[in-house]
Amino acid sequence: MSEIGIVLSSHVSELAEGVYKLLSETAPKVSITYAGGTDDGDIGSSFDAITQAIEENEADHILSFYDLGSAKMTMEMAIEYSDKTVELFDVSFVEGAYTAASLLSGGADYDRVIEQLKPLIIK
Amino acid sequence: MLTVENTKAWLLRFAEKVEANKAHLSDLDSVIGDGDHGNNMARGIKAMQEALESKEASDPADVLKNASMALLSKIGGASGPLYGSAFLDMSKQAKEDASDVSAIFRAGLSGIQKRGKAEPGEKTMVDVWHPVIKALESGELTTDTITDAVEATKPLKATKGRASYLGERSIGELDPGAVSSSYLFEAWLEGED
């Protein structure tokens, strides 16, 4: 299992789940958890769900990816409240998370992952 | 000076105003946003009311922190982390010194700006917080200050937040976050009478 995990945060539960599915296939050796939508299943972001995704991830060092602005802000709040080391990337959601997952699963070290994420920064 | 009692009373008055204006907030948001600000805020302040009534608070900082957690957990839109940050940083400042209300509000504003990266003039809630705190610091805060600050968001072009996608079309509309923030300050002023 990779020592670094991945947390996904999206406004829509199906979107979060879909990206999770995509990543899981390419990266079976990475702990990936996700949060999508509000607690009521509506479009939005849930602090509690994101916190849970961070806590339930098997890794203590986490790379996190989000789709849009408020998912980012909610993630930032969850990071403030968490004891884990969680890094947030302003990269394209699908490509960024997929790149990180593939590299981590292939045994790439942290620096190499960061290097590969740099060209994907879009926001 | 904030106390447990006046902080709770203030936030409950804020909650009443949001609840009473829920439809108005959503209407404003449907023009330049995604139309959910009223419902989101109503859900958040309902959780806040419950937290204020059920959770123990030994000082005003606790009251603000409980409010922060409720809003953060339940609003669901961008306003959740924004109001959540505001109340969390107000709580931290109130822990240091509950007597200086201006400093507490200023900490709230810096929390909002840290989270949302907005500056004055970008048609966001910052455009209410900023002038209101300035007036409070100089002892000149009135309801007119608050109303004027909200109205002043109308001619602005949104450059932050979801309304910024509309560009020029955001001109002429009120910012929903500025309006909901005005309720917070009006509720505060009512307690000062």
For chain A, what percent of residues have pLDDT higher than 70?
100
Q: Contact, B137 vs B102, CB < 8 A? A: yes
Sheet holding A4-10, edge to edge: A32-36, A4-10, A61-66, A85-88
CATH number of B4-192: 1.25.40.340
CA distance A93 to A105: 18
- For the segment B63-77, the average pLDDT, to the nearest whole number, is 94
Q: Considering chain B, what is the average pLDDT of its residues?
A: 95
Q: Do B82 and A73 touch (CB under 8 A)?
A: yes
Q: Does B73 touch chain A (CB under 8 A)?
A: yes
- For the segment A98-120, the average pLDDT, to the nearest whole number, is 97
Q: B183 or B160: which carries more pLDDT confidence?
A: B183
For chain B, what percent of residues have pLDDT higher than 90?
91
DSSP-assigned letter for residue B36: -
- Scanning the structure block, which residue is given the tokens 């949104």? B158
Confidence class of residue B76 from pLDDT cuts 50, 70 and 90? Answer: confident
Q: Do A76 and B77 touch (CB under 8 A)?
A: no
For chain B, what percent of residues have pLDDT higher than 70?
99
Q: What is the pLDDT of residues B91-142, one digit of tens each?
A: 999 999 999 999 999 999 999 999 999 999 999 999 999 999 999 999 999 9
Which residues of A are designated catalytic?
Answer: 11
Confidence class of residue A69 from pLDDT cuts 50, 70 and 90? Answer: confident
Q: Which residues contact A9 (CB under 8 A, 6 or more apart)?
A: A16, A34, A35, A36, A45, A50, A53, A64, A65, A66, A67, A71, A72, A74, A75
Q: What is the pLDDT of residue B149?
A: 98
- For the segment B59-72, the average pLDDT, to the nearest whole number, is 96
Q: Does A57 touch chain B (CB under 8 A)?
A: no
The minimum CA-CA distance between A81 and chain B, rounded to whole Å, is 11
Contacts of residue B46 in chain A, CB cutoff 8 Å?
A: none
Q: What is the pLDDT of residue A1?
A: 84
Q: What is the pLDDT of residue B3?
A: 97
Residue A46 has pLDDT above 80, yes or no: yes
What ranges do the domains of chain B cover? Answer: 4-192
Q: Does B33 touch chain A (CB under 8 A)?
A: no
**Architecture of the domain whose range is A4-120:** 3-Layer(aba) Sandwich (3.40)
**DSSP per-residue string spanning chain A:** --SEEEEEEESSHHHHHHHHHHHHHH-TTS-EEEEEB-TTSSSSB-HHHHHHHHHHSS-SEEEEEESSHHHHHHHHHHHHH-SSEEEE--B-HHHHHHHHHHHHHTT--HHHHHHHHGGGB--
* Interface test mutation site (partner A, options B29, B75, B91, max chain A beta carbons within 10 A): B75
Beta bridge partners of A8: A34, A65
What ranges do the domains of chain A cover? Answer: 4-120
Residue A97 has pLDDT above 90, yes or no: yes
Residue B193 has pLDDT above 70, yes or no: no
Tell me the pTM.
0.89
- Give the residue from chain A lying closest to B81, CA to CA: A74
